[in-house]
Amino acid sequence: MRTVGNSLHQELWVPAEELATFNQHIQGPVRFTEAWYGPGYLGPDTSLVPLERQLLALFEQSSDALSLLQANTAVCLFNSAWWSSTPASAQGLNPSDHLRLLDRLRHAWVTLHPTWPLPVPGANRQTDPQ
């Protein structure tokens, strides 16, 4: 384990030459349980609109949420907690549409990935100075 940034953030570091062996020992899927986003977070590269408009764009493009989630699994996995924790107005949504779209995302995700939960937004934590 290495401390990255401050004492609350620790990561497992695997040297590049040991990565293939390490990966062979992983059993089951890797799960994200919580997510924290810095002020400059943009999300993974995607052909979708910018991050703050993606939740709406995912569901405007088609009524078939399952196929959209299948095509954008990484985007949904990495950004879902950001969409949940960022105010509706910052995403161009009113609060009721925001909740409706998040609910639709969660239901579609559970249908596709019943044993792979979406991460939740991390709690606000005090951080030490670096």
- List pLDDT tens digits, range 8-24: 777 788 889 999 999 99
| pLDDT value at residue 94 | 93
Give the DSSP letter of residue 44: S
Residues 41 and 69: their CA atoms lie apart, in Å, by 21
- Decide: helix, strand or coil at residue 13: coil
Closest by alpha carbon to 105, among 38, 55, 40, 36? 55
- List pLDDT tens digits, range 22-53: 999 988 877 777 888 888 888 887 777 888 98
Residues 67 and 82: their CA atoms lie apart, in Å, by 22
